[in-house]
Chains A and B, each alone.
Chain A
Amino acid sequence: MLKTFKIGGVHPPENKLSAQGEIITLPLPEQVIIPLSQHIGAPAAPTVKKGDTVKVGQLIGQAAGFISANIHSSVSGTVTSVDPVIDASGYPRPAITIKVEGDEWDEKILKEPLSQHPNTFTKEEIIAAINAAGIVGMGGATFPTHVKLSPPPGSTAEVLIINGVECEPYLTADHRLMLEHGKELIAGIELLMKALGVKRTIVGIENNKKDAIEELEKHAKLADGIEICPLKIQYPQGGEKQLIQATTGKFVPSGALPIAVGAVVQNVGTVYAVYEAVMKRKPLFERVVTVTGKSLKEPGNYLCRIGTPLAQLIEAAGGLPEDTGKVIGGGPMMGKALTTTNVSITKGTSGVLLMRQEESSRKENRNCIRCTKCVSVCPMGLEPYHLMLLGEHNKLEALEAEKVMDCIECGSCSYTCPANRPLLDVIRLGKARTGQMIRTRKN
């Protein structure tokens, strides 16, 4: 019996259309727009001005505080603007626009990785390299990685958990990375183990990626303390708390971080970035992005420079299909619908999904028939139907008591509801308001 998490969960059609698509390097764009806020925390402070020439990998935004991350140029060329640009959120945000000229890389970046064994680096060296490279959680949460690697005083990490689950339908970027860069990933894991001082790592991979499981097992044998753990296919297994529960059996308490049970979780994309940062002194300025959709000509996986417009990626995959009704940054369960394809690929962009017109609209919502399906699929053991009702009536204290803040916004409730009720829409709003109420009370 394969392991999986204990509470709730759904199994949407996997639709991994691009699973066989080898990672292709996307040609350089003519211009990149690099947001200064690609992470959770304070936006980076620009270190270049209009008219400056920059090289690939050069620092253009300095992390503003501990919870923040450096931003590097992904291209060589001339800075044409440091003014805010409307990004995927629909709001103008600080960004740096660079006109691409050639492809000149910073001299510090190594063409070939260091021959040193990952174990020979010190904890401080590794964390400093990660910090300098501007690495953030690449599964989508974009939390600065160096912060995660510095457990707060009083808590110690015991186990490193690598998230190779990729439970979102359609997405295959992590799958391809594991398949094509298994050796580098294992080296990256060794670096992270050293940085955290842990002796044990569990790599969680869903069983629809048997080839990746085999590949990583092959390389993991040559290292110490790395277990590959195949998991039953179940959404949202890539949720941090769900993955920890599935792999270690431990439940992270309500409101606590994974470190409370001695766990640190890192996505495989992040691990690869860590490998490159330490072994090749390469900052995070490119990532693998899945471009997919049922009508798209050639769904695939592309290595893209940060700041490249989505439109160019879609063009490379055969162009925007005529019947496109919705463009989603990320997967279909938690991704964000975009108003335009003219937004930049960022550190947190795992995929672009083009949905057909007929897949794009919701059906009419009906009366709740109290079928209990939302309760049984909620991976946090909440009662979505009840939270929605409380949300509609703005009962914030009751929402807090019913643990709305535990909601991970995975969407399993809305996905399942036979009456098509917009459960998560209302719960998300209620959660935001409740969070605000809690913060106001604290101050």
Chain B
Amino acid sequence: MSNFTISPSPHIHSGDSIEKNMYGVLIALIPAFIFSIVFFGIGAILVTLTSVVACLIFEFIIQKYLMKQRPTVWDGSAIITGVLLAFNLPSSLPLWIVIIGALVAIGIGKMSFGGLGNNIFNPALVGRVFLLISFPVQMTSWPVPNGFSTVDAVTGATPLAIVKEAVKNGQSVTDALASTGLSSSNMIIGNMGGSLGEVAAIGLLLGFAYMLIRKIITWHIPVTIFATVIVFAGILHLVNPVHFADPLFHLFTGGMMLGAIFMATDYVTSPMTHKGMIIYGVGIGVLTVIIRVFGAYPEGMSFAILIMNGFTPLINRYCKPARFA
């Protein structure tokens, strides 16, 4: 009697794997990381390294000793969480705070739901928002980019915070921005205050292009977010240009690029159909602008994504793919 393997069809596999996708995302994050090192120097490297190592260690410990599973830390997902958490932090943040962020991201954001694939909210954002609420002072003192310069880093406000402050004081948005000397080319390159990975729009867009070519993600979520922000912020700007910044300003400042390209597109916490992705993207765009313009915080990307993460199961329930019929 022969000894052939028996299994149901299909008998071949594409060879795609969780690792290929996760490490693909990490490759896409490299350009932005290079920019952040150029702008923020050694601080960017230290914060990112600490965050990644802490995420890996926490995931390993929780899987091995609490969940009694075979640890799968090298699937790349914990590294992505680590990098994305770091990218959402100021490069001058004390490292012990980074470690607390990693613990919350992995422990509460991911493993408490059952690990990869089961979490409702984006783990890196759970960690980031936890830190923002718990350590508001450290989390909002932004070093001004000066690379590896030996001069002591100065801290300054982000463009979004400057605008928020101006509106509060009844100043014109344009005047406030002009006084900082921030040119639009600086904003696109990312030469401005902010979290270490969020400032370099060009680097992030390169990563977006890479992920599209490798078919790791589709265009639906990021493009819908951008379009919504342009339309919504554009209407506000047309109504009152003194009070509301122009849409391109919203597009290139704060966590817009990082959030739309890398955080909102997280497989696990975003909708399963293209229709659903568009609804989700519109929701994130609208909420971000509302929080930025009318809310207490200058930046709203993280909150908007987390809120829409919560809506994802509902969106999945009502958005079905186009059936064959």
Contacts and interface: CB of A to CB of B under 8 A. Distances in A.
Interface of A: 7, 10, 12, 169, 241, 245, 251, 253-254, 324-328, 332-341, 353, 355, 359-363, 366-373, 375-376, 378-383, 385-386, 403, 406, 409, 411-412, 414-420, 422, 424-425, 428
Interface in B68-86: 72, 75, 77
A383 B323 CA distance: 10
B18 A369 contact: yes
Given A332-B11, A370-B272, A416-B16, A381 B323 contact: yes
A370 B20 contact: no
A326 B18 contact: no
A418 B21 contact: yes
B18 A418 contact: yes
15 contacts: A251-B325, A254-B324, A332-B9, A334-B9, A337-B4, A337-B5, A360-B11, A363-B13, A366-B116, A371-B267, A372-B218, A411-B9, A414-B10, A415-B13, A418-B16
Interface in B93-122: 115-118
Contacts of A382: 321, 323
Contact of A367 (B116, B218, B321): B116
B153 interface: no
Contact of B267 (A361, A370, A409): A370
A122 B31 CA distance: 72
A367 B13 contact: no
Interface in B251-303: 267-268, 270, 272-273
Contacts of B6: 326, 337-339
Interface of B: 1-2, 4-14, 16-18, 20-21, 72, 75, 77, 115-118, 218, 267-268, 270, 272-273, 316, 320-325
Contacts of B218: 372, 376
B325 A253 contact: yes
Contact of B8 (A363, A406, A424): A424
Contacts of B7: 326, 337, 362
Given A326-B7, A334-B9, 10 more contacts: A327-B4, A333-B9, A340-B4, A360-B4, A369-B268, A370-B267, A383-B273, A386-B272, A418-B16, A425-B8
A424 B9 contact: yes
B20 A418 contact: yes
Contacts of A415: 10, 12-14
B90 to A, nearest CB: 30
Given A361-B5, A420-B13, A368 B117 contact: yes
Nearest to A10: B14
Nearest to B16: A418
Contacts of A169: 12
Contacts of A359: 11-12
Contacts of A411: 9-10
B325 to A, nearest CB: 5
Contacts of B12: 12, 169, 332-333, 359, 415
Given A381-B321, A406-B324, A337 B11 contact: yes
B55 to A, nearest CB: 17
Contact of A7 (B10, B14, B72, B324): B324
Nearest to A416: B14
Given A325-B5, A337-B6, A373-B16, A367 B325 contact: no
Contacts of A406: 323-324
B267 A380 contact: no
A328 B116 CA distance: 35
Best-buried of B12, B116, B273, B325 by chain A (most CB within 10 Å): B12
Contacts of B18: 366, 369, 418-419
A7 to B, nearest CB: 5
B25 to A, nearest CB: 11
Contacts of B10: 332-334, 411-412, 414-415, 424
Given A337-B7, A417-B16, A428-B8, A385 B324 contact: no
Nearest to A380: B324
